[in-house]
Structure 1
Amino acid sequence: MFTIEHDFDATVITLIDEGGPHLHEDVTICAFEEVVTLEQLDPRRNEVMRLTLSMAQLRDLAAALDLPEGSYRLTRSGQD
């Protein structure tokens, strides 16, 4: 399950784990104009862990989900 909210400066997506007996904490994804952050509560430390991705890293991640093992560099069409 997930929710989507459009705030003033970001789109906020929350992923809710409904998978089974060993559920993970919700993941909150905030898409800003220049970066995307992923946040999840670490119950062992009782603190929120945050990961920040640039738009280029996010683009690479999206591409990597559909590629086989290897090393890649994405380029924009028409650019070196």
Structure 2
Amino acid sequence: MFTIEHEFDATVITLVDDPAGHRQEDVTVNAFAECVTLEQYDPRTDSVATVTLSSAQLADLAAALDLPEGSYRLSRRR
């Protein structure tokens, strides 16, 4: 399950792990014009872990989901 909210400066997507034996904490994706952040609460440290991806890294990740094993370089339009 997931939710989508449009804020003033970002689109916020929350990924909710469906109930399972080893349910993970929700992941929040904040899509800004210049970057995307992924946030997830870590109950072991009682803090939120954040990963920031540039637009290029996000494009690489999206492409990688549909490619076989290997090393790739995407051509970028400027």
Q: Shorter-chain TM-score: what band? A: over 0.9
Q: Deviations over 1:14-52 (max 9, x none)?
A: 000114111000000000001000000011001000000
> 2:57 is aligned with what amino acid?
Q
Could you list the runs of 4 or more consecutive aligned residues of structure 1 that deviate by over 2 angstroms after TM superposition?
none
Q: Distance in 2 between matches of 1:76 and 1:46?
A: 39
Note the residue ranges of structure 1 that are not aligned, 5 or more in a row.
none
Alignment of structure 1 residues 1-80 onto 2, 5 Å = 1-76=1-76
> 2:38 is aligned with what amino acid?
L
Q: Distance in 2 between matches of 1:51 and 1:16?
A: 18
**Identity in percent:** 69
Q: Distance in 2 between matches of 1:59 and 1:19?
A: 30
Q: How many residues align?
A: 78
SS in 2 for 1:76: coil
Note the residue ranges of structure 2 that are not aligned, 5 or more in a row.
none
Please give the TM-score of this superposition, normalised by the length of structure 2.
Answer: 0.95
SS in 1 for 2:69: coil
TM-align CA RMSD: 1.2
